[in-house]
Amino acid sequence: MPDKPSDLVQGTLDMLILKTLALEPIHGYGISVRIEQMSKGVFRLNAGSLFLAIQRLERDGLIDGEWKPTENNRRARYYTLTAKGQKRLDSETREWGRQVTAIARILEAS
């Protein structure tokens, strides 16, 4: 049996969504699939928290949403990263890197 999906580290969901959208504009389901794929199944998103985060990011002007037809002829909202979102992603990535290094240093200390 595979490991159970983990909960996300608090506050990292926004950063992961921004990162996903930095690759290419995509709809909500796409984001959830991408994150699951890229994390190799470690992170599985709940639709509620995903759309809550999307709503928050859109209101903060970090992403833009637009209705577009999907491959199988439905309508879905496709999200793109705004310039502001790109800046936020850069700074959060840097900050994350710093923190991970620091935590790793602490954990490796003997």
Q: Which residues bind other proteins (CB under 8 A)?
A: 27-29, 32-33, 46-49, 51-52, 55-56, 58-61, 70, 72, 74-77, 84
The DSSP secondary structure of the chain, one letter per residue, reads -PPPPBPPPTT-HHHHHHHHHHH--EEHHHHHHHHHHHTTTSB---HHHHHHHHHHHHHTTSEEEEEEE-TTS-EEEEEEE-HHHHHHHHHHHHHHHHHHHHHHHHHH--
Strand order in the sheet with 75-81: 26-27, 75-81, 63-69
Q: How far is the CB of 22 from other proteins (least distance, A)?
A: 19
First to last CA, the chain: 33
Q: What minimum distance in Å lies between the beta carbon of 6 and other proteins?
A: 16
Residue number with CB closer to other proteins (37 or 101): 37
CB of 49 to other proteins, least distance (A): 8
CB of 61 to other proteins, least distance (A): 4
Q: In the complex with other proteins, which residue's Cβ is closer, 41 or 97?
A: 41
Toward other proteins, which CB reaches closer, 77 or 80?
A: 77
Complex with other proteins: residue 39 or 77, whichever CB lies closer: 77
